[in-house]
Structure 1
Amino acid sequence: MSNWSDASWGEFVRSKEFTLDRAVFLIAKSLQYPSLDIDEQLRILDSMGEELKRSIGSKKPTEIIASINEYLFEKHGFRGNEQDYYDPRNSYLNDVIARRTGIPITLSVLYMELARRIGFELHGVGFPGHFLVKHLYHDFAIVIDPFNKGKILSQEDFQHLLDKLYSGQVRFEQRFLDSVTKKQILIRMLRNLKDTYMHSYDYNKALTAIDMTVSIDPNLAEEFRDRGLVLYQKKFYGDALSNLTKYLEMQPDAVDADNIYQMIMDIQSFFRHDMYG
């Protein structure tokens, strides 16, 4: 990680200084943009928040949401990037601000951070396959889709979205609208980046994303598996072995346990052959 050890990143996300906006810019700095001026990026967000605040003329939640939507999607032209969804730039907030396009989670973080700057509280929603945000108004949740120009979603929309994502194989459950913590948002962003970089065979960046995720939550067994797989591809067989072994210790009944066990046996066989061959 550029300028950050795994330990110092982990200390930051557990510290009183932790904020979501600074953390997402730190992800960009660590993985892709080592010279990124985080304070300058925060000033850009602050400036956007001040500009947005001047356009707010009502305290009604739906009208505030309409003002945010007008500011982001009409005035400044932000949009969901459906043409090149898996471009890693969609996952870096500095790129999203500069290019005016992103994926659901980064557009949601931008939406949340601008709302926070005008005193309008929003929560992240870890909806399957498509991140959302919500505002709690008395006992009612107003659920918003920043990827689709801030549309307020109905119950019918939730199932329609699942059908689009999972071809009718997943039925909507109310728990899909549960709030997620800021750390869970970071983990979801880092996992998106991990998947992107693993698929493009950029194992160094994939490994950094995994290390940052484990620093937030060391109980995520799948990250040890994926770290083992990446280390195996990088031919660091000893480290791969320890991570894959830890994965099976944490998840002995995992659906891929047999495959991982076979990989462990292959590595051990390689070591024996190397030692005695």
Structure 2
Amino acid sequence: MKHGHHSVEFLRQLASQSDRTLAAHAGWFLRELDYSDPVTEFRGFIRSLNYELETGALLLSRTINPDIDIGACCARLDSMAARCRELIAEPASVREKCRVISRVLFHEYGLRGNTDHYADPLNSYLDQVLIRRKGIPISLSIVYLLVAERLGLSLEPVGLPGHFVVGCYAEQLPFYIDPFNSGSFINAGEAVDLLRRQSTHPTIADLAPTPVREVLCRCCRNLVNHYSVANDPDRARLFAEFVAEFEATYERHTT
């Protein structure tokens, strides 16, 4: 506090480094001193390579709304998972548990795809999806995955070209859940048909799990497009920078 601006710059540089321990400590000091910079924190998360879906989704939300109540977001997810536990009659298969999740999220809590205002940037932020109860395929899939994780289910994000679903590979034949369409279930063949109807040329790789890094990067790409449509070039540029940061970080650590 004595050194003022110089201390803040020093801590922000540390928070952006790939050393996760240093970054975490620097972030703690910034928050305690009330000097936290959500954009810098998200850049630090990108560079850390320590990609965890819930943390990343909340940090992404904070870049636009620094005052979000993270505790309230987590409590909503906890509440959804607790309701699912009440309805699951053990022993239950993974498929049966997923049916309960779909019932709770899309019928009891009323989550739905925002078909009327698909390009609204608020559809991409986890806190806003939980408050407004509407989103786009990728953000609704993130909610589904975070609730499933609390129930101990190993589900995977699946970034189909032009659409996003949740995949389950625990059974002999994989199946997919479409959160944008009220959590409906589709098999691999139906997923391929969906892609063909969208005039794409599907491959088996399209049905494979998507890394968390790419899930969050895809969220940022969507926001570039949505802010461009909303005629907000500054925010479109910010999320384009995040996309470039994800890509540069990945390239540095894979070459």
Q: TM-score, normalised by structure 2?
A: 0.77
Partner of 2:245: 215
Partner of 1:35: 67
Q: Which 5+ residue runs of structure 1 have no aligned equivalent?
A: 222-277
**C-alpha contact 2:38 2:66 (8 A) present in aligned 1:** no
Listed one character per residue, the Cα deviations across residues 227-252 of structure 1 (whole Å, up to 9, x for unaligned) are xxxxxxxxxxxxxxxxxxxxxxxxxx
3-state DSSP of counterpart to 1:26 = helix
Q: CA deviation at 1:164?
A: 4.0
Q: TM-score, normalised by structure 1?
A: 0.71
What is the rounded CA distance, in whole Å, between the counterparts of 2:124 and 2:54 in structure 1? 13
- Alignment-mate amino acid for residue 99 of structure 1: R
What is the rounded CA distance, in whole Å, between the counterparts of 2:82 and 2:50 in structure 1? 22
Percent of pairs with identical residues = 31
- Alignment-mate amino acid for residue 147 of structure 1: F
Partner of 1:191: 221
- Asked if residue 44 in structure 1 is aligned to residue 81 in structure 2, the reply is no
Closer, same or farther: CA 5–75 of 1 in aligned 2, 3 Å: closer
Q: Which 5+ residue runs of structure 2 have no aligned equivalent?
A: 1-35
**C-alpha contact 1:22 1:42 (8 A) present in aligned 2:** no
Q: CA deviation at 1:190?
A: 0.5
Number of aligned residues: 215
What is the rounded CA distance, in whole Å, between the counterparts of 2:100 and 2:39 in structure 1? 40
**C-alpha contact 2:174 2:187 (8 A) present in aligned 1:** no
**C-alpha contact 1:22 1:38 (8 A) present in aligned 2:** no
What is the rounded CA distance, in whole Å, between the counterparts of 2:71 and 2:46 in structure 1? 17
Aligned 1:232-251 pairs, distance under 5 A: none
State the Cα RMSD in Å: 2.2
**C-alpha contact 1:9 1:215 (8 A) present in aligned 2:** no
Partner of 1:55: 87
**Counterpart among 193, 198, 205 of residue 235 in structure 2:** 205
What is the rounded CA distance, in whole Å, between the counterparts of 1:133 and 1:193 in structure 2? 21
Partner of 1:176: 206
- Asked if residue 157 in structure 1 is aligned to residue 190 in structure 2, the reply is yes
Partner of 1:87: 120
What is the rounded CA distance, in whole Å, between the counterparts of 1:69 and 1:47 in structure 2? 14
Partner of 1:237: none
